[in-house]
A and B are shown apart, each in its own frame.
Chain A
Amino acid sequence: MAKEKIIAPPKKKKVGTFDIVNYIVFILIGLIIILPMWKVLVDSLNRYGVYQFRLWPRDFTLEGYLTIIKTTRLIKPFFISLLTTVLGTFLGLFLSTLGGYVLIQFDMPGRNIFAYFLLFTMIFSGGMIPEYLVMKQLGLVDSWWILVFKHGINVYNLVLMRNFFEGVPASLYEAARIDGCSPMGIFFRIVLPLSKAALASIGLMFAVTVWNDYSTVQIYITNPDNVNFQYKLRTMIMDGDTPTTSYNISQTTLYNAGIIVAILPFMLLYPFLQKYFVTGVNIGAVKE
């Protein structure tokens, strides 16, 4: 009681020089983050490319976005990105929930062997070329399925999932087992329904990884029909591989529209799901 009386008043009321400086610094930081994105957005709606920063497009046009929709060589990579993201997220959640659940079965003989079997992959790897040669043998080179399979198994996310599951009270499992529930039944009826937050945040981690992946395509896919949108965007802008047929907009307009399309899905989800985007890190780094 006495504590509150002494401390509370001075802490809340005073807005000193420090606070003013602090706010100015943070407005600047916010602008440093926002302005580049704003420029990209405005330029994507501007018919002619200019270097100046504008708050609003001068010759407004949606032609940049329409070009992406109408050009097969641009819209197809977009759909490949969508498809691989959905499939990769499902496969990723499937494998990491199964693995995470089995790793908390402390009575199961061989649990430690399984754990070491997984953890060793985090310490050592065959490297880029042996991986490439294996994928080649499996027929995954030049196929967008490589994006699904490569990201579908992720030991780090599996361990995160295991940590979430460990938080589910063990008494619940035991009660279910006594009621005659099978391991599968416990998994579907108790573990998964209690781990919705974990599924959301780890699912988002998978989705972001697959959607944003560029290097897997660069290494494994040479057929331009099977590349994803990130790859297409980067080669279009940095290597000048433009598939435009209409020239009533500047190239810069098309480039900027491409960037917006590449970040759009997560920028739309982000404000609503920020909680889930962030929990994964805290579980991984702080708790565990």
Chain B
Amino acid sequence: MSMKKVKLTSTGAEIRKKPLKLRIWQSRGFYVMFLPVLIFVAIMYYWPMLGIRFSFYQYKAAGRGAMTWVGLQHFQTMFFNPVKSGAFWNAFRNTLVLSVIKLLITTFTSVIVSIFLNEMQSLKAKKSLQTIIYLPHFMSWAVVASIFSLFLSPSSTGLVNGVLRSMGVVGEGEYIYFLANTAWWRPIYYLINIWKETGWGTIIFLATLSGINPELYEAGDIDGATRVQKIWYITVPALANTIITVLILNLAKVMNLFESVFVLYNTAVYEVSDVISTYIYRQTFATMNPDYGFSTAVGLFKSLVGCVLVLVCNRLSKKTRGRGIV
């Protein structure tokens, strides 16, 4: 008969479908249980989606909700206006640069650390190291930013400047204001990300490594391969798929950069640090009489790019590993 009439349960057993009305009546308990989820998702996710229409209006905060239709004017301003588009494109470029470089660097360090963790002979040493390197992941960005801004502080109690002064790299009473310096901000940002996320990133690679068939290493032993050769010819190729997976999964989140930048950036370094979300934030909450319409338009652009990225990554993921990213 037709395929539609037969459905499989999660155990794989066939069940013959009862009439739809009966099944709906029998599922009434589940519908009631789903109701709270439905309400929360509708309010927290779907209601805001209706607000996308603001991007075609002028919607001044001070005007008590007075809205004037302006069509695509906000997008024109955002992309082409000689005064305003500069900051937007700068933020867009920074979002891509910071996200992608951060992703590549932390993935690289995670792979290296997990390969060496995998080579550890003592299980106890391995376990305690894992405990330590996972720790920074559970610290908030506010805490991590606080710790490093104290260390990098130009004041007399800043660790890094203190050391530089005592070594004579900078003169007495002089300092490098790392977080307010356009040359230093990005490298510092990447380093802090490495410190915070490398350990956590190893989890997925270690899971892959524990699945490598030990016979491969035994075959290597018989052929007289050295440790380094075994790593290069057995371990690294085994990780290739996982590395691609991690890159794809995270590529979908490239546009989401916000908190990590927000807690570390400041007026002096917008040029190298301002990202789309921080730009939207300032346009709305740090501007006199903001136009909600304009910031919604920038947000819509961000959502659309993010959406395309998710769909592309989903396609890539299905191609490379046979299933989507969710």
Interface size on A, residues (CB 8 A): 109
B225 interface hit (Cβ, 8 Å): no
Q: Are B146 and A109 in contact (CB under 8 A)?
A: no
Q: Are B162 and A108 in contact (CB under 8 A)?
A: no
For window 29-56 of B, CB contacts with A under 8 Å fall at: 29-31, 33-34, 36-38, 40-41, 43-52, 54
How many A-B contacts are there with CB distance less than 8 Å?
A: 292
Q: Are B199 and A214 in contact (CB under 8 A)?
A: no
A1 interface hit (Cβ, 8 Å): no
Main secondary structure of the interface of A (DSSP, over half): helix
Q: What distance in Å separates the Cβ of B52 from its nearest Cβ neighbour in chain A?
A: 6
A-side contacts of B26, CB under 8 Å: 107
B277 interface hit (Cβ, 8 Å): yes
A119 interface hit (Cβ, 8 Å): yes
B90 interface hit (Cβ, 8 Å): no
For window 12-31 of A, CB contacts with B under 8 Å fall at: 12, 15-16, 18-19, 22-23, 25-26, 29-30
A218 interface hit (Cβ, 8 Å): yes
Q: Are A50 and B157 in contact (CB under 8 A)?
A: yes
Q: In this complex, what residue of A is CB-closest to B256?
A: A125
Q: Complex Cα distance A118/B37, Å?
A: 9
A175 interface hit (Cβ, 8 Å): no
Q: Are A214 and B259 in contact (CB under 8 A)?
A: yes
A199 interface hit (Cβ, 8 Å): no
Q: Are B142 and A234 in contact (CB under 8 A)?
A: yes
Q: In this complex, what residue of B is CB-closest to A229?
A: B142
Q: What distance in Å separates the Cβ of B74 from its nearest Cβ neighbour in chain A?
A: 12
Q: What distance in Å separates the Cβ of B196 from its nearest Cβ neighbour in chain A?
A: 10
B11 interface hit (Cβ, 8 Å): yes
Q: In this complex, what residue of A is CB-closest to B295?
A: A129
Q: In this complex, what residue of B is CB-closest to A40?
A: B147
Q: What distance in Å separates the Cβ of B256 from its nearest Cβ neighbour in chain A?
A: 10
Q: In this complex, what residue of B is CB-closest to A165?
A: B10
B247 interface hit (Cβ, 8 Å): no
Q: Which of A19, A99, A118, A123 has the most CB of B within 10 A?
A: A123
Tell me whether A52 and B34 are in contact in the complex, defined as CB-CB below 8 angstroms, given that A233-B146, A277-B134 are known contacts.
Answer: no
A-side contacts of B146, CB under 8 Å: 233-234, 237-238, 255, 258-259, 262
Main secondary structure of the interface of B (DSSP, over half): helix
- Produce 1/0 per residue, B49-68, CB < 8 A to A: 11110100000000000000
A190 interface hit (Cβ, 8 Å): no
Q: Are B48 and A126 in contact (CB under 8 A)?
A: yes
Q: Are B150 and A153 in contact (CB under 8 A)?
A: no
Q: What distance in Å separates the Cβ of A93 from its nearest Cβ neighbour in chain B?
A: 12
Q: Which of A53, A230, A262 contacts B159 (CB 8 A)?
A: A53
Q: Are B303 and A219 in contact (CB under 8 A)?
A: no
Q: Which of A10, A37, A238 contacts B149 (CB 8 A)?
A: A238
Q: Complex Cα distance A32/B52, Å?
A: 45
Q: Are B221 and A278 in contact (CB under 8 A)?
A: no
**Which residue numbers of B lie inside 8 Å of A, CB to CB?**
7-11, 15, 20, 23-24, 26-27, 29-31, 33-34, 36-38, 40-41, 43-52, 54, 113, 116-117, 119-121, 125, 129, 131-136, 138-143, 145-151, 156-159, 161-163, 195, 199-200, 203-204, 207-208, 218, 221-222, 227-228, 249, 258-259, 262-263, 277, 280-281, 284-285, 292, 295-296, 299-300, 302-303, 306-307, 310-311, 323, 326
User: Which 9 A-B pairs rank lowest in CB-CB distance, beginning with the nearest?
Assistant: A130-B51, A51-B162, A127-B299, A126-B48, A212-B140, A183-B29, A49-B157, A99-B37, A130-B48
List 24 A–B pairs whose Cβ atoms lie within 8 Å, in order of A's numbering.
A7-B221, A18-B227, A22-B116, A22-B120, A37-B135, A106-B8, A106-B9, A107-B26, A121-B45, A128-B281, A130-B48, A130-B299, A133-B292, A134-B48, A153-B44, A159-B326, A171-B11, A214-B259, A214-B263, A238-B149, A255-B146, A259-B146, A278-B203, A282-B203
